[in-house]
A and B are shown apart, each in its own frame.
Chain A
Amino acid sequence: NAGVMQNPRHLVRRRGQEARLRCSPMKGHSHVYWYRQLPEEGLKFMVYLQKENIIDESGMPKERFSAEFPKEGPSILRIQQVVRGDSAAYFCASSPPYPDNTGELFFGEGSRLTVL
């Protein structure tokens, strides 16, 4: 049973370019979460999505960042006009729908974005 799959694992962009990070949840999971990890800061929640719906985006920066989870295909975290401060590891997690959801999140191995 494949886990949460993220790609690319590593991505290098120059300032001003766009970054797209993809996440396929575990089989049977319909909830997707995105987190950002910076050194010494732990993981910061960004957004929680279900199929075709953004449920909680309270952690998303107001500009340049967007996320989607279409009916078909992976979830996408999109960062427009990247800046050096966007360099971080971005983790996707998934969880099953209720009533199987016990609060646990299943994490992918992350996508590491470097902005030159």
Chain B
Amino acid sequence: AQSVTQLGSHVSVSEGALVLLRCNYSSSVPPYLFWYVQYPNQGLQLLLKYTSAATLVKGINGFEAEFKKSETSFHLTKPSAHMSDAAEYFCAVRNQAGTALIFGKGTTLSVSS
């Protein structure tokens, strides 16, 4: 069965620092992988997705993620954090049946000035 594990429930960075949010997946089929962001009291917004094309995926707001099959990882990065990046981030994998996305438990990103 498909699953994702997000390493670190909380990550704190300074404004301007590198953001690295970790996600490892388990999948019995070539995976479709996603990163979503959630701001307080709002729904989830797609940051980027991997659907078996280029392994380096660029998303919105300067985020990108690299699919590494050998490491079963799909880590999210941003070169320079902004205060507005403070939010909760979720990694997700499409289930084998294609009927749902399976989400990790999320990582809360804090950005300090």
Contact = CB atoms under 8 A, between A and B. Distances in A.
B49 A40 contact: no
A11 interface: no
A110 B43 CA distance: 6
Interface string A81-116: 000000000010100000000111111111000000
B103 interface: yes
Contact of B32 (A40, A43, A56, A103): A103
B100 A102 contact: no
Interface in B18-55: 32, 34, 36, 41-46, 49, 51
Interface range on chain A (Cβ under 8 Å from partner): 20 to 34
Interface residues of B, number: 25
Contacts of B101: 45, 103, 105
A87 to B, nearest CB: 15
Contact of A103 (B43, B49, B103, B106): B49
A95 to B, nearest CB: 10
Question: What's the dominant secondary structure at chain A's contact region?
Answer: strand
A104 B34 contact: yes
A109 B99 contact: no
A33 B106 contact: no
A102 B43 contact: no
Contacts of A44: 103
